[in-house]
Structure 1
Amino acid sequence: MKISYNWLKDFIDIDLSVEQTANLLTNSGLEVENVEFYESIKGGLKGLIVGEVIEKKKHPNADKLSLTKVDIGNGTMLSIVCGAPNVDAGQKVIVATVGTTLHPVSGEPFTIKKSKIRGEISEGMICAEDEIGVGYSHDGIIVLPQDTPAGMPAADIFKVYTDYVLEIGLTPNRADAMSHWGVSRDLKAVIHHKLNTDLTLQLPDTTSFKTDNNDFVIDIEVENQEACPRYCGLTITGVQVKESPQWLKNRLQAIGVRPINNIVDATNYVLHELGQPLHAFDADKIAGKKVIVKTVKEGTSFVTLDGIERKLSSKDLMICDAEKPMTIAGVFGGLNSGVSENTVNIFLESAYFNPVWIRKTAKRHGLSTDASFRFERGIDPNITVYALKRAALLIQEIAGGKVSMDIKDTHPSPFPAFKVAFSPRRAQQLIGKTIEENTMESILSDLEIKIEKQNECWNLEVPPYRVDVQREADVVEEILRIYGFNEIETPEKFAFTPGLHDKFDKNKIENTISDLLSSNGFMQIMNNSLTNRKYYDYVDNQYIVKILNPISSELSIMRQNLLFGALESISANLKRQKKNLKFYAFG
């Protein structure tokens, strides 16, 4: 999961370096596997400046080339050979000086060198859009407004957005941390304990939300309340579907999400901001102005957003209108119900679906989406209305429109907290170290766990978004995460009974081989014993050991050799610019 450092600071006012932040998160159980510097334009336009073409004349040895004199400010004049048909004297242009590395839209980066082109010296390059990554046009060079000063950095014109992206290796149990808001909650707790600084979390303000009219009301009916405990919705009329503003595209692109249009981007933004998946329907395509949450007959045909016709199971929860299914609930949208460039009115959905239902449906159809990834692990059932208001206000800001029905909520009362009995004394025995009770209390309070003390027993109320904290041992783990596993000292002595091994010692042989290979520059790798079925397409099914309930389609069978795991390790390292690779593995 990718987390934007800039986005994180919207929730928590931290004055830490990105490295410090990454270390704090890793020590609290949210392991930061990689920190990447992000630029909205690759290379950040470094070395590119504004120049003025002072002189242009025909190249004596080439019909399609021109010789130019370009002033790049401070009286510096460059001789540049240019092949663009639209270059002319008096123009303000983008110049790549000698030594500048360009990152074109397609192809590999290249560095500008002083060279001779058909016998004439060229001390730079006058650039087109695609050559510097700001567009796709190659019809000619970029021509800037006349009042643009020579010598001005190109980065100041195109407003390069920079950020740091933290890639977190999220464990399946941490559904609460699958958003910037969730990560900021953990960061606040660990900063309070480790740095003794009590920061305040800041959620986006939704107090300005209001219903403008009730001109477009969609009825909501939930037939299967086990699969859908909560469903909320509203309509917004008069929206204008268009490209999203640059700030929104920058945020999404930084974490690897492709912008589509302002409505879809707004729902994706709230998903990654708060962890609540949303879906926007074209309200005019909802037959009977009614949304029904139900299952359909076994074998019903349904075409999903990717254009594939799928046969539905009677156990697939569907979002339907009065006539037909519209989406696979919590998993994937339908081809004919979503927002398009012609959409004017939308119905916005925010729901809490049963994780088991969503997980089984996603596995059944071999689908994995940002929404199903969260729903199948369990989201916060109490945030649905807030997220709906947040998304509605964001859509109104970037697409216009009026909220044209009151929010309908099928479960308006809050979902109860989990009750856990906790003994500080028993926790200390499990931890193996005495941690002061006031420290435990402070950590639990920072994690939004309410405490009611009754003698030596604490009755805890755990927020419903913490689906992984159901037992006393889970609470102990939470305390340890924030307190720090590294703060628990390793005992100086271990009691054990040595044994005599006269038989063949497999471990000793492996260790001897490992020592030999490692001393010669090899690194040992240990890969998952589960692997992807596609690696063994050449093997008959009778020889394949399949997993009945695989975690994902990429881990659906038992491996038959070590080759493909090793190749995956090589691929992962090459993607991170690690090229001198020598691996070995046992299996």
Structure 2
Amino acid sequence: MLLPINWVKDYVEIDVSTEELAEMLTMTGSNAEEIISLREEISNVVVGKILSVESHPNADRLLVCKVDVGKEVIQVVTGADNVASGQLVPVALHGAKLPGGITIKRGKLRGVESQGMMCSGEELELKDSDYPGAEADGILILQEEYPLGMDIKEALDLGGDVIDFEITSNRPDCLSVVGMAREIAVAAGKTWKMPEIIVKPGTGQIGDELQVEVENAELCPRYLARVVKDIRIQPSPQWMRRRLAAAGVRPINNIVDITNYVMLELGQPMHAFDLDKVEGRKIIVRNALPGETLVTLDDKMRELTPDMLVIADANKPIALAGVMGGANSEITEGTRQIVFESALFDGASVRSTSKKLGLRSESSSRFEKGLDINMTLIAMERAVQLVQELGAGTVVEGRIDVLGASIEKRKLTVKWNRINQLLGLDLPAEKISEILTSLGMGITVDGEYMTVIIPTYRNDIEGMADLAEEVARIYGYDRIPLTLMEGSAAKGSRTQKQKLVRRIKTALTGMGMYEAVTYSFTSPSVYKNLGMTDPSEYPQAVRISNPLGEDQSIMRTTMLASILEVLSHNYNRQIKKCSIFEINPVFIPKALPLTELPNELLTLAMGEYGEEADFYSLKGKIEALASLLGLENRIAFKPARHTAMHPGRTAEVLLDEKTIGIFGQIHPKTAERYETDTGTILGELNLEALLEEADTDWQYKPLPRYPAVTRDLAFIVDKKVQAAQIVELIRKAGGKILEEVNLFDIYEGSQIPEGHKSMAYALSYRAPDRTLKDEEVNEAHERIIKTLEEKLGAKLR
């Protein structure tokens, strides 16, 4: 933000140098990036009046002028042909310096002495925006009366310094001359003032000229309008043009300049509409309708969407709320009636509209940060006052003020000594109150408690820490004493859950998998891509209120899509094999719309493709994790169906008969949608449930001292019988001496009856305290055979 020092002096006394002021404000949080000195290269140039003009005796194209420069009358020889007696002109005296390092000295031109030089706008490096006619040929003729001998920089308001400040996004109250005057006053111990606003009574009644309707009070909490008639469009006076130019704004005409001047002075963006172009003489603040368009002031067609707030008349949009006006209602040379708008628009809405249209403006950058609802009225009255002062039109009596909600100042009650504790200070309550009061806050101290009334322009102050920051920056960060940390050092450690997650990651990487990290925001289209054809099948998801885009507009309820996107990315770059996992939360809302935070369910997703990837490879990894968590005897699998997976190669993962996950081979249609290998295997587990049941109280167990006895069994069973059923029955029947069961063969062929299959298992028997006898092993073995025959109708091969 560019702050002209001469302007801010209207509202606060400044008795230090510009450099000292910049340093002072930097220490209080407003970082001064650069000091710009305006026209410092011009010196000893004054206002002079031409008393007479005569021809040069020795040159046809030169003129000899007598010029009154205040203290004396000097003679100046010039070649300009636009000079005449009685004109006021800038005169460079002997020793004057001009832009470009030019120094003016007395001398003779064709035998006639010249004691100075009358200057053109070009020689002073002035533009028409600096002074009307500055870019015309010839000597610059001053159109207004100035004291003779007055420094031209003072006369044309060319001098002074400008400080370029970096204002942080949480301090929009500092994006104005008045806001910075307030900061200067606090930092320097001075008093500051607002512009004195006196509006003379107008004519007529605004109700006869205009109606205003706000349809969306949530996005427009306050909207003010005033009407001005008999408009006279003309250039703004020099003082206003100079201030606008110094602040980095190009002067246009008196009405547009007034809106920009008020925005820079008070921080409240304003806009002016040509009332004759407002159809129905009605302003409606509403959301854009589907298919509506608007040509903005930069002459570009903008396609609008229903989530954008617009200012409309009875038939069409005439402005993008808080962003830019429309060309269909702009101020032109022919404008005779205007409507001034001063409003408060929702910052998030303005930011969203600005981003979607790729359109940023001085107004939008301010609204995005959040503005003071009270400043809308002050700014409106200031604009009307300037209209009257400049004679730019006739103000219609009254104003329309649509206020969506009552204006109440926020209150905070804190223990004032907690501010000292946070800062390492020992300030009395009186000093803290003094600092906060100087910042415009109302303070009441009651014992150890302090109640603070927050001004409406300080939306950034929300808690005690914010108050402490205000005290620190005004008291002075450099005055806070250095202190050593007290207390014993605390050793950081991981929770048991964090340790287990770390152990799982280590185990999975040890199995050849790579960890992936994907966005927790995703697109609603992922459910369709996962094979859910009916929208009613989609799980409820938390929608992001201000998403980066539709592809990141909801919080994910599954990580299968994220894993598939990573696998697809690698597959389409000719990576022959890929095995990845991700451990992160999914977000399951308890109810929609949200009344409380959603459940964040820690989830493990896995996926792989390549020659080594198949259903059993992923199943083995899941079993290995179960063993790592001490749950190997509580995990089971059963056939299942999932829209994203192959119907015959998918299984649920059960923990104590409760489903905690699913895995399987990708469905061919899903593979086609994601453009990945049809042999891709993927799965998703509720890691939260596994961690809650994990038994990691491992105890040392010595290596076996006695030999194992191995036996093989092969059974013919119905095709519908699952391997997990057989293993469960074998373990129960085998008793304590049965150490291990492994399926090593499945056979279906001509030797096996139709509708059946042969399943072969390797059984290992062992006792920890003795060598097993054949009788013990035979007894357990026969018990297993009998159980399988009775329970499953199995036949021993």
Q: CA deviation at 1:131?
A: 2.8
Cα contact 1:69–1:78 (8 A) shared by 2: yes
Amino acid at match of 2:203: D
Deviation at 1:120, TM superposition (A): 11
The code of the aligned residue for 1:43 comes to I
Q: Tell me the equivalent position of 1:439.
A: 431
CA contact (8 A) 1:54 1:89 kept: no
SS at match of 2:181: helix
TM-score using structure 1 length: 0.72
Structure 1 contact 49–96 (Cα < 8 Å) conserved:
no
Kindly tell me: are residues 176 and 111 of structure 1, through their superposed partners in 2, closer, same or farther at Cα, counting changes over 3 Å? same
* Structure 1 segment 41-80 matched on structure 2, within 5 A: 43=42, 46=45, 56-59=56-59, 66=62
* Equivalent position of 1:175 in the other structure: 172
Q: What aligned pairs does 1:102-501 form with structure 2 within 5 A after superposition?
A: 102-103=98-99, 110-112=102-104, 125=117, 127-132=119-124, 133=126, 135-136=133-134, 139-141=137-139, 152=149, 155=152, 159-192=156-189, 199=191, 201-214=192-205, 216-411=208-403, 414-491=406-483
Question: For 1:194-214, what per-residue CA distance to the aligned partner results, in whole angstroms no more than 9, with x for missing partners?
Answer: xxx5x2x32233354545321
Aligned in 2, Cα 1:397/1:122: closer, same or farther, shift over 3 Å? Answer: closer
What letter corresponds to residue 202 of structure 1 in structure 2?
K
Amino acid at match of 2:238: Q
User: How many Å separate the matches in 2 of 1:92 and 1:429?
Assistant: 65
- Residues 112, 217 of structure 1: CA spacing in aligned structure 2 closer, same or farther, 3 A cutoff? same
Work out which of the two has the higher radius of gyration on C-alpha atoms and give 1 or 2.
2
Identity %: 35
> Which amino acid letter does the alignment assign opposite residue 433 of structure 1?
L
Tell me how far apart the structure 1 counterparts of residues 188 and 141 of structure 2 sit (CA, whole Å).
49
CA distance in 2, matches of 1:99, 1:419: 62
Q: 1:465 to 1:85 in 2, by over 3 A?
A: closer
| 2:624 counterpart residue number | none
Question: d(CA) in 2 for partners of 1:317 and 1:390?
Answer: 26
**Aligned residue number for residue 695 of structure 2:** none
Question: In 2 relative to 1, CA 68–382 (structure 1 residues): closer, same or farther, beyond 3 Å?
Answer: closer
Structure 2 residue matching 1:233: 3-state secondary structure: strand
CA distance in 2, matches of 1:29, 1:390: 29
Structure 1 contact 55–70 (Cα < 8 Å) conserved: no
Q: One-letter code of the match for 1:444?
A: L
CA RMSD of superposed structures (Å): 3.9
1:183 partner letter: M
Deviation at 1:328, TM superposition (A): 0.5
* Unpaired segments ≥5 residues, structure 2: 490-546, 550-797
Q: Is the 8 A contact 2:254 2:392 kept in 1?
A: no
Q: Deviations over 1:488-507 (max 9, x none)?
A: 1223789999xxxxxxxxxx
Cα distance in structure 2, aligned partners of 1:90 and 1:290: 52
DSSP 3-state at the match of 2:213: strand
Q: CA deviation at 1:22?
A: 2.7
Question: Is the contact between residue 217 and residue 405 of structure 1 (CA under 8 Å) also seen in structure 2?
Answer: no
Secondary structure of residue in 2 paired with 1:410:
strand
d(CA) in 1 for partners of 2:13, 2:146: 36
1:452 Cα offset (Å):
3.8
Corresponding letter in the other structure for 2:226: L
- Distance, in Å, in 1 between the alignment partners of 2:74 and 2:7 is 42
Decide which moves more: 315-324 or 364-373. 364-373
Offset of residue 96 of structure 1: 4.3
Q: What do residues 288-345 of structure 1 show as CA deviations (whole Å, max 9, x unaligned)?
A: 1110111113442210001111111222110000011001011111112022121111
Task: Tell me the alpha carbon deviations over residues 347-376 of structure 1, each in whole angstroms, 9 at most, x when there is no partner.
Answer: 111111111101111122222212111111
- Which 10-residue stretch deviates more, 111-120 or 297-306? 111-120
In structure 1, C-alpha distance between the alignment counterparts of 2:165 and 2:470, rounded to whole Å: 18
Between the two structures, name the one with larger relative contact order (CA 8 Å, sep ≥ 6): 1
Cα gap change, 1:464/1:336 in structure 2, threshold over 3 Å: closer, same or farther?
Answer: same
Scaled by the length of structure 2, the TM-score of the pair is 0.54
Which residue does 2:762 correspond to in 1? none
The Cα shift of 1:54 comes to 6.2
Counterpart CA distance in 1 for 2:481 and 2:117 is: 61
- State how many pairs are aligned: 482
Give the Å deviation of 1:15.
3.9
Letter in 2 for 1:3: L
SS in 2 for 1:131: coil
Q: Secondary structure of 1:57's partner?
A: coil
2:259–2:383 Cα contact (<8 Å) kept: yes
Contact 1:423 1:457 survives alignment (8 Å): yes
Tell me the amino acid that sits aligned with residue 169 of structure 1. E
